[in-house]
Structure 1
Amino acid sequence: MDTTTTTPATPRPWISSYPEGMRWDAEIDTTPVHEQVLAACAKNPSAVALDFLGGTTTFGDLAKQIIAFAGALQRQFGVTKGTRVAIMLPNTPFYPIAYFGVLRAGGTVVNCNPLYTVPELSHITANAGADVMITLDLQQIFEKGEALLAAGHVKSLVVCHFPNALPLVKKILFSVAKRKDLAQPKKSRFADRITSFGDMIAAKATPDAVVIAPDDVAVQQYTGGTTGIPKGALLTHANIAANMSQIDQWGDGLFYPPSKVVAVLPFFHIFAMTVCMNVPLCNGTQVVMLPRFELKALLNLLTRTRANVLPAVPTLLNAIARADTATAEQLASLEVAISGGAALPDEVRNAFAKKSKALLAEGYGLTEASPVVCCAALRVPSKPMSIGMPLPATDLRFVDVDSGKVVETGEDGELQVKGPQVMPGYFEDPKASADAFMDGWLRTGDVGHIDEDGYVFLVDRIKDLIICSGFNVYPRTIEEALMTHEAVEEVNVIGVPDEYRGEAPVAYIKLRAGQSATEESLKTFLKDKLNKIEMPKEIIFKDALPKTLIGKLSKKELREDYAQTRAAKK
């Protein structure tokens, strides 16, 4: 490919469209995030930092637990600068304590989705070299940690006792009614390699000082890109802090008290880690959490807390918009909803507007950019169907996919990004790191254009990645799982539009001669090989699957086939 580039005639047309008072060249704060959160805790220690199902943690208590946990990590596990520590936790107070504690100890956070299968978690922990994993004693999660211990992918588990996250009455009720849902780490065959999170906090160890450089890695966030094999994006302390500073400025005071930010998106996801946790807590703003998305629980939370900022994915917004049980009164406290993680369909935007008066702003980002690149204005309306404008200190361009030349305003090309939030590369993967950049610009794989006012619009993706409910789903993962079935000869997986999840995987299959299988039997076969998000929405059987001239299975014809079949059914 010819990678010759030209300078755009108008490098930053968005500056003239910025909201009043917003500056593209504003100073970017790169103070490490753990230093920022501890400073916020010291500033107003009696204010509530975390609300979890009605149980609260003050900023003062949060700081004490972060410091104690950091000290215990250093003393008990030898965590030092650069040590990889895996965190496999849903949203609970344990997560921010663990996250900031690891960073204060000098370690690097390796986020792990508790919904991942053991093989997926094995790859991440083994690739990262994360000897210690922090997890929970809920049976479904704990048994995955045990499996990782058994396989030697981690050497030690730090286990949080879930009832300790609950307010007193709920803690008692859970311990009685849900006792069977709790694992018993002390009875595990690996008990000698399991440490209590609570005991570590109780030890009140004082951590040694650690000198952090801007380019030291804070988070190693795994993302599959186009291949489906997760790669560790190296996000430095400066990357993460810069993106927080950019979002903070773009919010124009939105992320400061008395605001309350809803954290129903999981902290282990890069969007929630930054927008739902880091930005508000470092500004002394309360975060109200749910361990997972349930519409009734979210509506009750909004009614109880009167939270006003809701970072969300389109699936969640669609659930609110379509639910008869969601009333305008329950949503009355919402001022701003920020949609990210996947494209926001216009029908969802319109349906949500009928339910809530909140400003609905769409944003865009990717793991490799810590993650936010663009966002619609958060205080005033933006152009419909746009992902907004680049954040302060962020540059972008659109490049012709074939020639590599920068395209004119309004012309479609691949979106490429520069900014202080962009990663230096992937962990121990020089080829993938080189492929991720063109002349120093991060390649996003997304196709779109910028208009004369500097608003960005996306129209397609180069990569085959499927974004399902805001999570990356990789066709290859599903294809490889299906190929292990004895009746399957060929399989090709595509992403299709889905009203609830945004996109969903659909598998096309050619069976071996003389073999038989049903959609139901194959889905049963996949249950222990894929997580729920990866499970195909539909399995379609074909006598032959389309191929390119060189014999490669082609997804293009399958997408056309599915669209035609869907249209014919309407």
Structure 2
Amino acid sequence: MTGRAPFAWEKSYAPGARWDAPIARCTLPQLLDRAVARYGDGVAIEFRDVSLSFAELGRRVDAMAAALLRAGLGPGATVALYLPNTPWHPAAFFGASRAGARIVHLSPLDAERVLAHKLRDSGARTLFATDLGTSLLPTAVRLLDAGLLDRVIVGEDAAWGGDGPRTALPDRPDVIPVSRFAAAASPPPSWPEQSIDDVALLQYTGGTTGLPKGAMLTHGNLTAAVSMYNAWLEGQGLSRPGADRVIGVLPLFHIYALTTILLRQIDRGNTILLRARFDVEQTIRDIEQGRATSFPGVPTMWIALANHPGVDKVDFSSMIHCASGGAPLPVEVARRFERLTGRRLVGGWGMTETSPAGTNLPENGPSKPGTIGIPLPGVELDIVSLDDPTRTLPPGEVGELRVRGLNVTKGYWNRPEETAQSFVGDRFLTGDVGYMDEDGFFFIVDRKKDMIISGGFNVYPQMIEQAIYEHPAVAECIVLGVPDEYRGEAAKAFVTLRDGAEPFSMDDLRLFLADKVGKHEMPTALEFRASLPRTPVGKLSRAELRKEASP
């Protein structure tokens, strides 16, 4: 890019990486077709004892797409995926995409009223489920009986081996096993034409305030995010097409896993070690025996690994890339993990609305505790005033993060007013509060809506949490604002203890935090809990705790 001033973060890039690297975009079916052509006999997915090649995945996708088109579910239609981690997810995801339909992800942990809202809002009348377990299919049938769906297509879990609990399919015409739905479906003379600007996915946000809203993510948004991650890792010598083995325990219905595990690893020709759920022992087996090379996780997974007895004896020699995303990574957890395993744990920042490419830590960059890193190639970030989102702030000043890039959503489905409020021109207002330092590294101090105003001062719960995590007895913590007669609001800490640790008093906590937080930030209350609530993807949930803690 000639004629532009370099951004502050470009000087912090690895020698082989470029912020202005070309960002390629295509449709999702084109991404899959390219991978099938390049890596046909290679293993795309390992699940239980089944190895699914790229060629076989391509055949299953084509069969699913043909069946959807036969059922009238092509361009203009919306198809819901209500699936845990199973090979039926990529078959249905790419199948619906090839047919030209929009996709909406439903979380298996969503409450029924949330599922009902997403179905009504998205317009999806067809839902993919599985007979795995005892709750998914019955819930889908209840949604069907409530008039929210026309049909439920059921992926038979027995196709992948294993002997887990399964639900018997009810004998009714609107609950259709995939084997029957896709039987004898013939591909059309040509697949529906699609553009990179077509909406590929309605990905609903967490709904921490009010009902969830669907971010409209286009084919171009999603494949641009893949290109951004590729350019970032290739520039650091960390991309090995066709050679990596990536642990896939993050749920594919979440944007972090969808892009960094499913889409990116398919694009690179790597093998996904797909797992139905996170289990510490299974993950250790995947590292030691399965010779995994990469593990994208969320902080709670890294906390579990770092706290696991004997983790310092685990053979991490195959691991090239350990990444944390989805939520802020406590600094002390990253330090403890590196100390115990000898592997650096890098994190970053992103959100549903950015598909979720945003920032990342350079693999061999400087140590800057608490940073979310620097913008990925093609991502432009700045900090704007909390009072005036058109006014940019200089390094060191705290404001709201604003983002621009080919990966950023078109807006919210059926929410033109919220879409308009979220953009300043072509820059998206993230709702995250933070600052950029002189080297172009960004730091988040909190979500704007989570900020506590205590005695007229802005208090950011995440900053207090980072300090509490340094306490040797603390496993996990959440800080909330609670009513305070004197200050208006004050901070309260909710804590779970590490195995074998003893509770401590409020006075003990104040003494421990005395040199770590300001007087206005000091918690005024402490509560120990056996566990803290989590979101469907496993992140600690401040919103759920707030509901629980409300009088």
**Residues 215-252 of structure 1, C-alpha deviation per residue, up to 9 Å, x if partnerless?**
10001000145523100100011111111100111111
Aligned to 2:283: 298
The answer to whether the Cα contact below 8 Å between 1:315 and 1:501 also exists between their aligned partners in 2 is no
Q: Taking structure 1 as reference, are residues 281 and 255 closer, same or farther at Cα in structure 2, changes over 3 Å only?
A: farther
- Could you say what secondary structure the match of 1:311 adopts? strand
**Residues 326-384 of structure 1, C-alpha deviation per residue, up to 9 Å, x if partnerless?**
35434332111111111111110011112323332111001011111111124656644
For 1:557 and 1:402, the matched residues in 2 are separated by 24
Aligned to 1:31: 26
Whether 2:262 is the aligned partner of 1:280: answer no
Deviation (angstroms), 1:390: 0.6
For 1:358 and 1:16, the matched residues in 2 are separated by 25
Q: Taking structure 1 as reference, are residues 501 and 45 closer, same or farther at Cα in structure 2, changes over 3 Å only?
A: farther
Q: Taking structure 1 as reference, are residues 399 and 70 closer, same or farther at Cα in structure 2, changes over 3 Å only?
A: same
For 1:397 and 1:356, the matched residues in 2 are separated by 35
**Residues 12-44 of structure 1, C-alpha deviation per residue, up to 9 Å, x if partnerless?**
111122111212222111111221112211222
Q: Taking structure 1 as reference, are residues 12 and 445 closer, same or farther at Cα in structure 2, changes over 3 Å only?
A: same
Q: Taking structure 1 as reference, are residues 557 and 296 closer, same or farther at Cα in structure 2, changes over 3 Å only?
A: closer
**Residues 429-454 of structure 1, C-alpha deviation per residue, up to 9 Å, x if partnerless?**
11110111123211111111111111
Report the residue type matching 1:435 in the other structure: Q
For 2:104 and 2:451, the matched residues in 1 are separated by 22
Whether 2:368 is the aligned partner of 1:408: answer no
For 1:33 and 1:224, the matched residues in 2 are separated by 24
The answer to whether the Cα contact below 8 Å between 2:83 and 2:130 also exists between their aligned partners in 1 is yes
Aligned to 2:225: 243
Normalising to structure 1: TM-score of the pair?
0.78
For 1:345 and 1:108, the matched residues in 2 are separated by 36
Q: Which moved more, 1:557-566 or 1:60-69?
A: 557-566
- Could you say what secondary structure the match of 1:425 adopts? coil
Aligned to 2:110: 116
Any gaps of 5 or more consecutive residues in structure 1?
1-8, 467-493, 509-544
Aligned to 2:178: 197
Normalising to structure 2: TM-score of the pair?
0.81
The answer to whether the Cα contact below 8 Å between 1:309 and 1:335 also exists between their aligned partners in 2 is yes
For 2:491 and 2:314, the matched residues in 1 are separated by 47
Aligned to 1:81: 75
Deviation (angstroms), 1:90: 0.9
Q: Taking structure 1 as reference, are residues 140 and 338 closer, same or farther at Cα in structure 2, changes over 3 Å only?
A: same
Whether 2:167 is the aligned partner of 1:183: answer yes
Whether 2:415 is the aligned partner of 1:429: answer yes
- Could you say what secondary structure the match of 1:334 adopts? coil
Q: Taking structure 1 as reference, are residues 263 and 501 closer, same or farther at Cα in structure 2, changes over 3 Å only?
A: farther
Aligned to 1:398: 383
Whether 2:208 is the aligned partner of 1:214: answer no
For 1:502 and 1:256, the matched residues in 2 are separated by 36
The answer to whether the Cα contact below 8 Å between 2:492 and 2:526 also exists between their aligned partners in 1 is no
Deviation (angstroms), 1:503: 5.6
For 1:203 and 1:47, the matched residues in 2 are separated by 27
Out of 320, 325, 332, which is 1:340 matched to? 325
Aligned to 1:145: 140
Q: Which moved more, 1:353-362 or 1:363-372?
A: 353-362
For 2:451 and 2:261, the matched residues in 1 are separated by 24
The answer to whether the Cα contact below 8 Å between 1:226 and 1:465 also exists between their aligned partners in 2 is no
Whether 2:523 is the aligned partner of 1:563: answer yes
For 1:310 and 1:19, the matched residues in 2 are separated by 21
The answer to whether the Cα contact below 8 Å between 2:479 and 2:491 also exists between their aligned partners in 1 is no
Where do 1:116-515 residues align within 5 Å?
A: 116-138=110-132, 139-166=134-161, 171=162, 174=163, 178=164, 181-187=165-171, 191-207=172-188, 208-224=190-206, 227-252=209-234, 253-254=238-239, 256-378=241-363, 383-404=368-389, 405-464=391-450, 497=465, 504=478
Any gaps of 5 or more consecutive residues in structure 2?
453-460, 494-519, 530-551
Q: Taking structure 1 as reference, are residues 358 and 433 closer, same or farther at Cα in structure 2, changes over 3 Å only?
A: same
The answer to whether the Cα contact below 8 Å between 1:335 and 1:357 also exists between their aligned partners in 2 is no
Identity of aligned residues (%): 33
Number of residue equivalences: 479
For 2:369 and 2:54, the matched residues in 1 are separated by 38
- Could you say what secondary structure the match of 2:292 adopts? coil
For 1:568 and 1:72, the matched residues in 2 are separated by 53
- Could you say what secondary structure the match of 2:201 adopts? strand
Q: Taking structure 1 as reference, are residues 338 and 158 closer, same or farther at Cα in structure 2, changes over 3 Å only?
A: same
The answer to whether the Cα contact below 8 Å between 2:49 and 2:160 also exists between their aligned partners in 1 is no
For 1:36 and 1:83, the matched residues in 2 are separated by 21
The answer to whether the Cα contact below 8 Å between 2:481 and 2:492 also exists between their aligned partners in 1 is no
